[in-house]
Amino acid sequence: MSPEEMTYLTVLLISIPIGFLFKKGGLRTKKFGGAVAGLLLVLATCQIHALHSLVTILGTWLIINLSPRSCHYLTLGWTFSYLLFFRTVASFGFPDPTPYTNAIQLLLTLKMVSLANEVQEFSQAKKQEVASFTKSPVIGVIPKMPGLVEILCYSYCYVGLMTGPFYRYRTHYDWLNQPDSSAIPSWQPLLSRSKMIPIFGVAFLAVSHFFPLDYVRSDAFYERGLPFRLFYMMPIFFVFRMRFYVAWLCAECACIAAAFGAYPVAAKSRSGGGPTMEYEPLSRPADGEVSSITYDYETIKNIDPHGTDFCVKVKDGMRYWNMTVQWWLAQYIYKSAPVRSYVMRSAWTMLISAYWHGIHPGYYLSFLTIPLCLAAEGAMESGFLKHLSPAGRLYGDWVQWFLKMRAYDYMCMGFVLLTFEDTVRYWSAIYYCIHVGAVAFFLLGKLLGGRRDQGGSPKGKDGAVQNPQRRE
């Protein structure tokens, strides 16, 4: 385990007992205490580079005050432009930021874009109220315009500051204004969520010891046979998953300890986005008994290890991984993509995601392989898989799961090797098998689908071929 990983783990573990202290505090304790704790963490890990986050925040505050009704895209342009400066700051004669500064800046960028969108929704709701002379509650809309102090407290709140999960300003506001957070359960959800952390941690340490990433960069690795080179990407992706499972589960536990992101089950909260339905908030009647409302922490759920490992499709694998960031990408990037087709929208989203992660070529090579896999998956689904019998589909799902995992193994290599040379060297050493396979499956799926269309298979209203043997 590297010193950087030890720092992250230490911060996460300390955040859990601190969370229980903040859970007992009132609005001011949470608001200012949480921000002070986060700011101290920023100063300790970033030093002078903490100015990057401050500049980003002040720029966003200025935009939303000058143009609250159209601040979303302006803030998106501002924060993503500043990310480019942040990545290339050394070329302007400034010192390179610390890795911790990079992590904080990434999450802050998501927060500022989301905040601007929330302010814009608030402004539009107010305008609609004036026009209709009625006030109708809108789920998730902030109750008032945040000032600079509120934005700073949201931005520097210690919860999720360095590792996530991402959360909206409204989620932070609801945490501050919980009527009785001491009555919201924390211990049982925390124990349930943390039970697999030791197993994932031991697996990470053991496998990373026997299968180091640096070996892939050595000449000795490429003297090994093709089966070994193909196999090696599997433990690399395994280590990659275990590292983030531990980090994100610990981060979720820190949220749960503070009752951060807790909403009634009836709210049907989504990861990152929060409640999607009206709900009854927790209240304590005059007799002192707490109303029987079941709470969950879906809003801050960032990882589903079982879903990640055992889902069948590539597109489902993305939904179970870094879930709060996936919500952000779907909400603010995918929905506003300049193209309409699913694959091209996904390509646009993956391009923005790669840019958000950094400027290393490996990010772009990996993320932009995903749309190709999605296209192949869609072609095989419509041309072959959906026409199988239930028994045939079961076998097909297992094959598809195996190929999905190998695709993610392959793409992970670009994500961890980072450079163009190292990524292409490895991919070429295994003959670009996933790229070639994806193209082959795409063509095969289109060919099979075309033959079924020519054969006069019955079609539904949307033009899709219907399978009389399976209920869709």
Q: What is the pLDDT of residue 175?
A: 97
Coil, strand, or helix at residue 70?
coil
Q: Which two tokens stand for residue 79?
A: 């924060």
Q: What is the pLDDT of residue 259?
A: 97
Q: What is the pLDDT of residue 347?
A: 96
Q: What is the pLDDT of residue 280?
A: 77
pLDDT band at 467 (very low <50, low <70, confident <90, very high): very low
pLDDT, tens digit, for every residue of 187-206?
A: 999 999 999 999 999 999 99
Q: Is 62 exposed, middle or buried (0-12, 13-18, 19+ CB in 10 A)?
A: middle
AA identity, residue 124: Q
- Give the H or E element holding residue 284: none
pLDDT, tens digit, for every residue of 210-259?
A: 999 999 999 999 999 999 999 999 999 999 999 999 999 999 999 999 99
- Report the percentage of the chain scoring pLDDT > 90: 85
Residue 258 near residue 20 (C-beta atoms within 8 A) = yes
pLDDT, tens digit, for every residue of 127-137?
A: 887 776 666 56
| pTM given for the model | 0.92
Query: What's the mean pLDDT in 390-419?
Result: 96
CA-based torsion, 345, 349, 352, 358: positive or negative: negative
Query: What's the mean pLDDT in 96-109?
Result: 96
pLDDT, tens digit, for every residue of 156-189?
A: 999 999 999 999 999 999 999 998 888 899 999 9
Q: Which two tokens stand for residue 117?
A: 């969108």
